[in-house]
Amino acid sequence: MLAQQLFNGLLLGVTFCLAALGFNLVVGAMDRLNFALGESAMVAAIVSSVLMARVGLPFWAAFLVALAIGGALSVLTYLLSFRLVRPDFPTASILSSLGIGIVLTALVLKVFGSNQQVIPDVLPGRRWKVGPIAVTGSQLVILVVSAVMTIGLYVFLERSRWGVAIRGVSDDAVVVGLLGVPVQRVVLLTFVISGMLAGAAGLLTGLAYHAVSPVDGFTTTLTALIIIVIGGLGSVKGAVVSALAIGVIETLSVVMLSATLRDLVVYLLVGVFLLVRPQGLFGRNAGVLERV
């Protein structure tokens, strides 16, 4: 029983991780938070789920659609909320991204309604036993896809030329720009990757629950913020560790306490970190958090 719940918590954590990584990339590149990213994930998940349930689109094709929608909406947010806003007025970018998130939610409610959209099972009827742990086909897909994307992002940031450029812009955009790196193109690429991670997170989280709803955008944003507060703004390692921990804590809180106390436990944990270690587990700079 405990082993199964720990597995379920880790499964939830790997989907949280993708969304948190998307947020952290934007924080590193812009020193600001993109509050429309959760809604971008929600839109990608709902459109993909509708294509799967009503059109019969295979999961892998729907997954590519989610990546494309997430990336496109993230670029749109960048152009409207970050590129066109004065750099000496970061609060405007935050408010603008919040506004875009509200507009996206309103559009989804208008087109698809407020009801949940069902996400069909992937590999239906398939189930494996690993000791005391039962793994369904959908859970296996979630684990594999999340792991591949997380590891792929790490390798990309550490080994590729563009990944090094992204890390350089995160450290000091001015100096990197003086060295000849096309900073604006790097930032645009960062937003594309961030949106694709969010789109994947939205669809995979929906697959874990077999449903997605318009309120999931706010939930994704809030969860990602909690993760990066605990793990540290701009830290990939912190996002991974914190996401897995939050997934396990939420699951065990439901089992050992109650579903109504789950959020309270997480909020108390965030409060402790803000008081004791405001930069998070692996954070280097608490300046963004303080400004927000």
User: 44-70: per-residue pLDDT in tens?
Assistant: 999 999 999 888 889 999 999 999 999
Evaluate whether residue 174 is within a structural domain. yes
Q: What residue numbers bound the domain in which 197 lies?
A: 2-215
Contact 116, 127 (CB under 8 A): no
The answer to the question of residue 284 being in a domain is: no
State how far the Cα of 277 lies from the Cα of 230, in Å rounded to an integer. Answer: 8
The string of pLDDT tens digits covering residues 183-238 is 888 889 999 999 999 999 999 998 988 889 888 888 888 888 888 888 887 778 88
| pLDDT at residue number 292 | 42
Task: Kindly indicate the confidence band of residue 283, based on its pLDDT and cuts at 50, 70 and 90.
Answer: low
Q: Is 78 a domain residue? A: yes
CA angle centred on 281, ends 70 and 101, rounded to 5°: 25
pLDDT by residue (tens digit) across 123-172?
776 777 777 788 888 889 999 999 999 999 989 988 888 888 888 887 77
Please check whether residue 225 lies inside any domain of the structure: no
pLDDT beyond 80 at 259: no
For residue 6, pLDDT over 70 is answered with yes
pLDDT category of residue 287 using cuts at 50, 70 and 90? very low
Residue 165 lies in a domain: yes
Q: Given a cut of 60, is residue 291 above it in pLDDT?
A: no
Beta-carbon count within 10 A of 130 CB: 9
Which two tokens mark 286? 């608490």
Rg (the chain; Cα; Å): 19
- Domain-located, residue 190: yes
Q: What are phi and psi of 215, to 5 degrees?
A: -80, -10
**Domain total of the chain:** 1
Residue 268 lies in a domain: no
Task: Let me know if residue 144 belongs to a domain.
Answer: yes
Give yes or no for a contact between 207 and 138, defined as CB atoms under 8 angstroms apart.
yes
**265-270: Cβ within 8 A, 24+ apart:** 266/226, 269/230, 270/226, 270/229, 270/230
Mean pLDDT (the chain) is 85
